[in-house]
């Protein structure tokens, strides 16, 4: 990996900066630290396509929120959409997940961050009950 970055550094002055190769080398060197983290940690993704697709549904819903009766209503719509998209990204059936939350959360005595963490879509118990 370091050999590649060294090659880029060595060759950045031998290519035209505006050429495709020149732009690629400059981009690589500018984002070297990020690339190193991504290549060293297999859990990180090089692409942000999933995030962009999730935001797309927010953009498409934006016009609908213009007709919310209140700011609070629009905010709650955003929260619900966020729950649905997060459930989808974690392989859950969004309807099952929302039903599960609506059945279980009202029975919790305390809704602190530790309690709520148990209901996050990637938790094993949620994965078993909401697929």
76 & 95 share domain: yes
Q: How many CB atoms lie within 10 A of CB 96?
A: 14
pLDDT in tens, 50-89: 777 777 766 776 666 677 788 888 788 888 888 998 999 8
**Could you tell me if 96 and 72 lie in one domain?**
yes
Asked whether residue 69 falls in the same domain as residue 106, the answer is yes
Same domain as 85, residue 30: no
Whether 59 and 88 map to the same domain: the answer is: yes
Residue of 113, 58, 49 whose CA lies nearest to 83: 58
Are the CB atoms for 13 and 22 separated by under 8 Å?
Answer: no
Do residues 35 and 70 both lie within one domain?
no
User: Is 86 in the same domain as 22?
Assistant: no
Model pLDDT for residues 103-113, shown as the tens digit of each residue:
999 999 988 99
Mean pLDDT along residues 25-43: 90
Instruction: Quote the domain boundaries for residue 75.
Output: 49-129
Domain identity same for 10 and 60: no
The pLDDT value recorded for residue 87 is 94
Whether residue 18 is found in the same domain as residue 64: no
Number of domains in the chain: 2
Task: Give Cα 60 to chain centroid, integer Å.
Answer: 17
């Amino acid at each position: 990996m370091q050999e590649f970055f060294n090659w880029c550094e060595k060759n950045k002055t031998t290519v035209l900066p505006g050429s495709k190769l020149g732009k690629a080398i400059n981009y690589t060197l500018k984002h070297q630290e990020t690339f190193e983290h991504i290549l060293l940690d297999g859990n990180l993704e090089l692409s942000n396509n999933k995030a962009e697709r999730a935001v797309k549904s927010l953009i498409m819903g934006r016009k609908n929120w213009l007709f919310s009766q209140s700011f609070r209503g629009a905010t709650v719509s955003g929260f619900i959409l966020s729950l649905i998209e997060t459930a989808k990204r974690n392989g859950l059936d969004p309807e099952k997940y929302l039903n599960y939350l609506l059945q279980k959360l009202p029975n919790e005595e305390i809704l602190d961050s530790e309690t709520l963490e148990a209901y996050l879509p990637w938790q094993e118990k949620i994965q078993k009950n909401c697929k």
